A and B are shown apart, each in its own frame.
Chain A
Amino acid sequence: MIPDEYLQTFVVECRELLEEMEEALLIVEQAAEDPEVINAIFRAAHTIKGSAGMFGIDHVVEFTHAAESVLDRVRSGDVSMSSVLAALFIEAHDHLKELISHVAEGSHPADALNKHGKSLIAQLEAYLNERSGTEAEQLANSGEMPTVSESRVEREHSDSIVGTDLWHISLRFGPDVFRNGMDPFSFVRCLSSLGSVMELVTIIDAIPPAEEMDPETCYLGFEISFSSDADKIAIENIFNFVRSDCLIRILPPRSKASEYQRLIQELPEQEMLLGEILVKCGTLTPEELDNILRIQSEHGDDEPQRPIGEVLVEQQMVSSPVVEAALEKQKQVKENKRGEANLIRVDADKLDELINLVGELIIAGAGTNLIAQSAGMADLIESTATLSRLVEEVRDSALALRMVQIGATFNRFTRVVRDVSKELGKDIDLIISGADTELDKTVVEKIGDPLTHLVRNSMDHGIESAELRIARGKPAKGTLKLNAYHDAGSIVIEVSDDGGGLNKEKILNKAIERGLVSEGVNLTDKEIYNLIFEAGFSTADTVSNLSGRGVGMDVVRSNIQALRGTVNLDSIEGQGSTIRIRLPLTLAIIDGFMVGIGSAVYVIPLDMVVECVELGAWASDEGDGQYLNLRGEVLPYRRLRDHFDIEGDIVQRENIVVVRYGEHKAGLVVDKLMGEFQTVIKPLGKLFKSEKSIGGFTILGSGEVALIVDVPGLMGQIEHEREAGEMTVVAASK
């Protein structure tokens, strides 16, 4: 059996490759042929096939081989990549994905899956047959073309038409071959014992004009494409008798110029000798390389040392594109080193452990700081200051390790949108922006499902059918946008569509029907829209396969709330709706702002703090203890002392901390401002789950516990209480 860790690597790599492949396929399906993109697909398929072959996972190899063969035809331009073919490849990709997951689980694919695979292979092979017709034509044509005068490099191009599983053998016979009693063609016939000669071009360029020509001297050379399962040594052995005075170059299957180029570009190794690259590429065996080096040193006597590549071309051992690729590679190696070659896979658990340790370090550092302060030793204070600065940097870079771009998550939706729009029979475009916005990996992982639901929902309910859209004077093609950006210490993810928007009446009626709100209650538009996030709510007239079953939006909301995020919805009827998810950037460590109320210490996330003002600056509040006039702006405020029911005397000079969350601003009145503090968030126990205004706790340097104010939660609570208050007022006045 295959050792588990290797298999796991295989599976992980395959999945990554499949992802790349899918991405590329979706591009191809949409747009015209881009050779780069098709190459990317081919590469992915090829690598999967290669590694599957290494592990002996034959059914994967078999299937990938079919796909790869067709892709190769596409690459060489024999088969054009139509959207039909792209769709077939997407199906093939899905199948492959399933096969890989079976490999991961160690299970055997079900019969149905195998059957599906066979039918896909058959469909793919249909393209191959089509192609073999053209190949036959080309072969016939080549018979009439003066191929003789073509240079070696051009030969390489015509090779790329030939199937990929062929060996390429270049032979240049020494002058004495005839005299030694050998016939070059006998080697060709010998080759037939190991496989079949697919194509042979006799190189006659070296035959001199009649007077100079010695009929007993051999001037011939061959370029042979050869199909065989034999290994290189076996093929080389055929030429044992002529090896001493002939140039023999045997290139294993897939040894086309473009293939080498690609391979060389993908090689992660740094600063290798060109020769070594070529050996590694399989263009040369070490023996051949020795040969070249010897030639080079012979030349070295009377002329400056030439780069190996030049010699190679002169010797016609490799075509110049290959060498160019190798040379280019040498230049690029250093750059690449900074790029992908520098990536390492790290177990997420290890990363979590690091973050935890950094958290402990911060707490310990704060303790040391405190002791230094109280000891009053200037030197010590200075050194702890340096220390805490470093700890802060360590914290930032540790957190940055966990930050990933949201782009990968967004790109997954290209596929979702494609499939769903097919299913629904709607034509929908996905526009992605802000893909480079970074957020914590754990958040990214958990946001995928809710986001999928929102996207499907928008496509199903939001975007109308093409007829209706045209009737409404909109373009027939619907647009779905995914956007992400940073805002006030959180990341905002928007899902917007240009569909029909939400129908207020319908929502309200449904909500009343479901008993979510009582009749006659005045709700703002926004409140009505956000009713759809309530449990058991669905506005769809018909339950579709995708959404509308009444579960979902509430699950979406609770998922997002579990991430300390919020979700809300804006909609303009007839023009579309936007769902905005707001999430904290990270779940582990934040910059906090410490405030004191009585003897207790609270931490407010610094990102949300806008400003601090002395409360005394206002002679008296103008909103009966609820509102302040902040430079002409209405600012609701709350005494944290009242909110948390803290006993003790009111201090003389209270301060107000203005916080902002989303579009809301509020003031929190506290006794003392204590400054910034790096806060390691520790979750509260289940017992405190119902407390919305506290988001967690942290341990101060002194060992004391400080509670972290959950600003959105607190605001929500204030809002809620105010509404409740208003409602009782309204009720009382009635």
Chain B
Amino acid sequence: MAKLENKEMQISRIAIEGELTIYTALELKDKLLTGLSATEELELDLSDVGEIDAAGLQLLVMIKQEAAVLGKVVRFTRHSPVVLDLLDLSGLAGFFGDPLLFVYKSTHEGKSA
């Protein structure tokens, strides 16, 4: 569901695969927090998220806020279409900030290409 990649000590990347929903929320919460605690900058690869719901979204908000509290950075990258849909619907794109917009654009271009 999620695999941790440590490219460098500073930036770690977690790819979330499959479901980002209520069914995986409990498990993911720990994973994300663990991941965050181990690094200054966390990148979440969402390209393989096949399903996301409000609970999943809530998790993303939580990790983002937690990072802010700790003075760390969490970035979401390569949003899958379902993630984009939900972000669009929830109007939270702004909350997640610029990196998302960048990724949003690139994905969009990717789609149209």
Residues of A within 8 A of B (CB): 142-148, 177-179, 183-185, 188-189, 197, 199-202, 204, 207, 209-210, 213, 215-216, 218-220
Instruction: Let me know if A199 and B65 touch, CB within 8 A.
Output: no
Cβ of B7 to closest chain A Cβ, rounded Å: 24
Which chain A residue lies CB-closest to B104? Answer: A143
Residue among A179, A207, A218 having the largest count of chain B Cβ atoms under 10 Å: A207
Contact partners of B55 in chain A: CB under 8 A:
178, 183, 215-216, 218
Residues of B within 8 A of A (CB): 22, 25-26, 28-29, 33, 53-55, 57-59, 61-63, 65-66, 69, 86, 89-95, 98, 101
Q: List 16 A-B contacts (CB under 8 A).
A: A178-B22, A183-B22, A183-B53, A183-B54, A185-B53, A185-B54, A200-B91, A204-B92, A210-B33, A210-B63, A213-B29, A215-B26, A215-B29, A215-B55, A215-B62, A220-B54
Cβ of A5 to closest chain B Cβ, rounded Å: 50
Contact partners of B59 in chain A: CB under 8 A:
215
Contact partners of A213 in chain B: CB under 8 A:
29, 62
Known contacts A213-B62, A218-B55: does B94 contact A146 (CB below 8 Å)? yes
A210-B62, A215-B55 given; name 4 further pairs at CB < 8 Å. Answer: A185-B86, A202-B90, A215-B62, A216-B22
A577 to B108, CA, bound (A): 76
Instruction: Let me know if B25 and A185 touch, CB within 8 A.
Output: no
Known contacts A178-B54, A213-B62, A215-B55: does B91 contact A201 (CB below 8 Å)? yes
Cβ of B45 to closest chain A Cβ, rounded Å: 20
Known contacts A148-B95, A209-B65, A209-B69: does B90 contact A215 (CB below 8 Å)? no
A146 to B96, CA, bound (A): 9
Instruction: Let me know if A204 and B69 touch, CB within 8 A.
Output: no
Contact partners of A143 in chain B: CB under 8 A:
91, 93-94, 101
Cβ of A200 to closest chain B Cβ, rounded Å: 5
Instruction: Let me know if B94 and A145 touch, CB within 8 A.
Output: yes
Contact partners of A210 in chain B: CB under 8 A:
29, 33, 62-63, 65-66, 69
A145 to B101, CA, bound (A): 12
Which chain A residue lies CB-closest to B61? Answer: A204
Residue among A184, A197, A204 having the largest count of chain B Cβ atoms under 10 Å: A204
- The one of A146, A200, A207 in contact with B62, judged by C-beta atoms closer than 8 angstroms, is A207
A215 to B57, CA, bound (A): 10
Instruction: Let me know if A202 and B91 touch, CB within 8 A.
Output: yes
Known contacts A207-B61, A215-B58: does B90 contact A185 (CB below 8 Å)? yes
Contact partners of A216 in chain B: CB under 8 A:
22, 25-26, 55
Which chain B residue lies CB-closest to A204? Answer: B61
A209 to B94, CA, bound (A): 20
A201 to B91, CA, bound (A): 5
Contact partners of B86 in chain A: CB under 8 A:
185
Which chain B residue lies CB-closest to A179? Answer: B22
- The one of B25, B29, B89, B101 in contact with A144, judged by C-beta atoms closer than 8 angstroms, is B101
Cβ of A387 to closest chain B Cβ, rounded Å: 78
Cβ of B84 to closest chain A Cβ, rounded Å: 13
Instruction: Let me know if A142 and B94 touch, CB within 8 A.
Output: yes
A185 to B69, CA, bound (A): 27
Which chain A residue lies CB-closest to B59? Answer: A215
Instruction: Let me know if A215 and B95 touch, CB within 8 A.
Output: no
Cβ of A149 to closest chain B Cβ, rounded Å: 9
Contact partners of B91 in chain A: CB under 8 A:
142-143, 147, 199-202
Contact partners of B93 in chain A: CB under 8 A:
143
A544 to B29, CA, bound (A): 86
Contact partners of A185 in chain B: CB under 8 A:
53-54, 86, 89-90
Which chain B residue lies CB-closest to A184? Answer: B54
Which chain B residue lies CB-closest to A224? Answer: B91
Contact partners of A142 in chain B: CB under 8 A:
91, 94
The 5 closest A-B pairs by CB, nearest first: A215-B25, A210-B66, A202-B90, A215-B29, A184-B54
- The one of A146, A147, A197, A204 in contact with B58, judged by C-beta atoms closer than 8 angstroms, is A204
